[in-house]
């Protein structure tokens, strides 16, 4: 596994790992795959799946699809340099990662992302569709239909295009949506309104930062983990 750093516009040091198949089958050309993490994650999330993508035969998988994997760190995350200027949003990050792939010699490639990575990869596919051969997301962003739609959807499901399965997943709204949002989105409100305040505290305490991040890995892996003494982290 190769770990590299490359300088990308606007002058940021971008860290990434680049893993090539050791011995791809004869006649099989590995497919370049860009994998982008999200918050509160890092490129390390992909470590366990990379061998399955680059060396499927030794893991009991079909050799029909073999990949050459590139996992960058989002600017400001992990080992990639943070921007000192405003405006480094998902579109700007998508542009940086697109240029990274070009510098690595890939004119066509596949992209996969979760959380912020899903938005970055979606932006990339929208910007350069002729270069992105395939897009895979494990977190899909959907336009908010609005509170009124959710409130009236149960009484007039056909009007809003809801199927019976949609109703089962959405309602009762209080328990399945509103309660979960209220209980689990406090961090988002803090980071969206007072980021510098919580940032000072987290940067000053490694234990505090670990607790802040691991709590999300725990709850977002399985909501029932919140009832366990160790938060399910040992699982």
Instruction: Give a yes or no: residue 234 inside a domain.
Output: no
The residue range of the domain holding 222 is: 189-228
Q: Give me the DSSP letters along 36-70.
A: E--TT--GGGGTTTHHHHH-GGGGT--SS--EEEE
Instruction: Give a yes or no: residue 235 inside a domain.
Output: no
Residue 57's domain is classified under what CATH number?
3.40.50.1820
Residue 40 and residue 130 in one domain: yes
Q: Which residues contact 125 (CB under 8 A, 6 or more apart)?
A: 111, 132, 135
Instruction: Give a yes or no: residue 218 inside a domain.
Output: yes
- Decide if 13 contacts 5 (C-beta within 8 A): yes
Structurally, how many domains does the chain consist of?
3
Name which residue leads in pLDDT, 25 or 12: 12
Residue 148 and residue 204 in one domain: no
Question: pLDDT, tens digit, for every residue of 92-137?
Answer: 999 999 999 999 999 999 999 999 999 999 999 999 999 999 999 9
Instruction: Give a yes or no: residue 18 inside a domain.
Output: yes
Instruction: Give a yes or no: residue 69 inside a domain.
Output: yes
Of the candidates 111, 137, 163, which is a domain's last residue? 137
State the pLDDT confidence band at 60, using cuts at 50, 70 and 90: confident
Question: pLDDT, tens digit, for every residue of 78-97?
Answer: 789 999 888 899 999 999 99
Residue 64 and residue 164 in one domain: no
Q: For residue 217, what pLDDT is reported?
A: 87
Residue 121 and residue 30 in one domain: yes
Q: Can you give the pTM of this predicted structure? A: 0.77
Please report the beta strands in the chain, taking only residues with DSSP state E, as ranges in sequence order.
Answer: 2-8, 12-19, 31-36, 67-72, 109-113, 132-137
The whole-chain average pLDDT of the chain stands at: 86
Residue 24 and residue 87 in one domain: yes
Name which residue leads in pLDDT, 180 or 227: 227
Instruction: Give a yes or no: residue 147 inside a domain.
Output: yes
Query: Considering only 5-14, 30-39, 219-228, which range has the smallest mean pLDDT?
Result: 5-14
Question: pLDDT, tens digit, for every residue of 137-188?
Answer: 998 776 555 555 666 666 777 776 778 777 777 666 555 666 777 788 888 8
Residue 117 and residue 214 in one domain: no
Instruction: Give a yes or no: residue 44 inside a domain.
Output: yes
Residue 124 and residue 169 in one domain: no
Residue 151 and residue 75 in one domain: no
Residue 92 and residue 180 in one domain: no
């Amino acid at each position: 596994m190769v770990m590299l750093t490359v300088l990308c516009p606007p002058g940021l040091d971008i860290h990434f790992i680049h893993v090539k198949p050791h011995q791809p089958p004869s006649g099989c050309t590995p497919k370049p795959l860009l994998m982008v993490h999200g918050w509160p994650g890092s490129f390390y999330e992909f470590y366990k799946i990379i061998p399955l993508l680059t060396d499927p035969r030794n893991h009991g998988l079909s050799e029909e699809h073999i990949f050459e994997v590139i996992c960058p760190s989002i600017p400001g995350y992990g080992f990639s340099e943070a921007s000192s200027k405003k405006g480094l949003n998902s579109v700007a990050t998508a542009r940086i990662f697109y240029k990274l792939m070009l510098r690595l010699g890939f004119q066509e490639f596949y992209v996969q992302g979760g959380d912020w990575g899903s938005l970055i990869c979606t932006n990339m596919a929208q910007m350069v569709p002729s270069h992105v051969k395939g897009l895979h997301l494990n977190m899909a962003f959907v336009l908010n239909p609005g509170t009124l739609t959710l409130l009236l959807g149960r009484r007039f499901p056909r009007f809003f295009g809801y199927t019976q399965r949609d109703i089962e997943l959405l309602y009762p709204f209080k328990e399945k949506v509103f309660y979960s949002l209220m209980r689990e989105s406090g961090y988002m409100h803090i980071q969206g309104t007072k980021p510098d305040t919580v940032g000072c505290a987290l940067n000053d305490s490694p234990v505090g930062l670990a607790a802040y991040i691991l709590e999300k890995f725990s709850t977002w892996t399985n909501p029932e983990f919140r009832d366990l003494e160790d938060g399910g982290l040992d699982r």
